[in-house]
Amino acid sequence: MADPAPFINWSLLALSPPGWGSVLLSGLINSIQIAIGGYSLGLLLGVGGAFGKLYGGPILRDLLECYTTIVRAVPELVLILLLYYAGTDLINQFMGLAGLPAVDISGLAAGIFVIGVVQGAYSTEVLRGAIKAVPSGQIEAARAFGMSPVKVMTRITLPAMLPYAIPGLSNLWLIATKDTALLAVVGFSELTLVTRQAAGTTKAYLLFFCAAGVLYLALTLVSNVFISIIERRARRGLAEAA
């Protein structure tokens, strides 16, 4: 190389321009926002899906089965493209049919929607397994005390299944944080895309990709700390590793 410049130009990571640090950080914040949003949406879908699969009618069960099967058998990347273009389009077509004005779906909302639908299928399976792991006697006892079905669910089934669900749900969170990277292919400014933009503009590919890797890894490691705290709390009632 003719260029005598230092091999690694750390100043590119500085927080204020011309450093790209703040751009990376805002990308990270975008990623985290989508991960949190998508994960929460997925959890909601998952709770509904799990109860639907366990206690719903045969048609609902079959439809949910199709949902989870398709999501689990088709690559996230493809789902993200389909949902990103078709999902929001369909919503607007429905709005049109209902005579409502087309909603303006922001990139953030679309991202959350896409990740949420994918996570929803996974959560459905994780939660369904966890609910099935709750001994049926516990639920029967609740009914014997005169609890209504809603009470049984909120007071007994959901809290009792937590220790069984948390390992799976923790993994889903870690997956959600990493799946946000896939939104780069639809041009959403999350961490991976802004990393590529920064790298493309400055040509410091190695530096920026490593920096993004460190950020993702930090996110994972910090998450792990919280996960182990939550896990310990949730397992209080269990005598031994089940």
Partner 1 sequence: HAEQIKVGFAAEPYPPFTSPDASGNWEGWEVDFQKAVCAEAKLDCVITPVAWDGIIPALTSKKIDIIIGSMSITDERLKTIDFSDKYYNTPTGVIGAKGAKFEPTPEGLSGKTIGVQVSTVHQVYANKYFGENGATVKEYQTQDEANQDLAAGRLDAVQADSIALDAFLKSDQGKDCCELEGMVKDDPAILGAGVGIGIRKGEDELKGKLNAAIKAIRENGTYDTFSKKYFDFDIYGG
Partner 2 sequence: MTSPAPETTHALAFTPEDLPTAESFFQPHRILLMAIFATLVVYVSWSMRWDWLPQYLPKLGWGIVVTLAMLFSTSILGFLLAVPLGLVQVTGPWPLKAFAKTFCTIIRGTPLLLQLWLLYYGLGSLFPQFPAIRSSFLWPYLRESWPYGVAALTISFAAYEGEVMRGAFAGVPAGELEAARAFGMSRWTVFRRIWLPRAIHRALPTLTGETVLQLKSTPLVATITVLDVYAIISKVRQDTFLTYEPLLLLALIYLCLTGILVLAFRKLENRIPTRGA
Partner 3 sequence: MTDPAQAIAVTDLHKRFGPLEVLKGVSLTANQGDVIAIIGGSGSGKSTLLRCINMLELPTAGSVSIHGETIAMKKDGRGGLAPSDRKQVERLRSQLGMVFQSFNLWQHMTILQNVIEAPVHVLGRPKDEAIATGEALLRRVGLFEKRDAYPAFLSGGQQQRAAIARALAIQPLVMLFDEPTSALDPELVGEVLAVIGDLAKEKRTMILVTHEMKFAREVANHIVFLAQGKIEEQGPPDEIFGAPKSERLKRFISSIH
Binding site for partner 2 (CB under 8 A): 1, 58-59, 62-63, 69-70, 72-79, 81-82, 85-86, 89, 122, 125-126, 129, 167-168, 170-172, 174-175, 178-182, 184-185, 192, 195-196, 199, 205-206, 209-210, 212-213, 216-217, 219-221, 224, 227-228, 231
Contact between 17 and partner 1 per CB under 8 A: yes
Contact between 73 and partner 3 per CB under 8 A: no
Partner whose binding site includes residue 102, from partner 1, partner 2, partner 3, none (CB under 5 to 8 Å by kind): partner 1
Partner whose binding site includes residue 168, from partner 1, partner 3, partner 2, none (CB under 5 to 8 Å by kind): partner 2
166, 226 in Cβ contact below 8 A?
no
Contact between 9 and partner 1 per CB under 8 A: no
Instruction: Kindly state the smallest distance separating residue 95's Cβ from partner 1, in Å.
Output: 11
Torsion (CA) 144, 146, 149, 154 in degrees, nearest 10:
-90
Question: Structure tokens of 107?
Answer: 């990139």
Partner whose binding site includes residue 170, from partner 2, partner 1, partner 3, none (CB under 5 to 8 Å by kind): partner 2
Among 156, 172, 64, which Cα is nearest to 116's? 172
Query: Distance (Å, rounded) from C-alpha 211 to C-alpha 213?
Result: 5
Query: Distance (Å, rounded) from C-alpha 33 to C-alpha 201?
Result: 25
> x/- site string to partner 3, residues 143 to 182, per CB under 8 A?
xxxxxx--x---xx--xx-xx-------------------
Q: How far apart are the first and last CA of the chain?
A: 59
Among 174, 164, 179, 165, which Cα is nearest to 225's? 174
Percent helix, strand and coil across the chain, each to the nearest 5: 80, 0, 20
Bond before 18 cis per omega within 30 degrees: yes
* Residues lying near partner 1 in the complex (CB under 8 A): 1-3, 17-20, 22-23, 26, 81, 84-86, 88-89, 92, 102, 104-105, 107, 110, 185-187, 189, 193-194, 196-198, 200-201, 203, 205
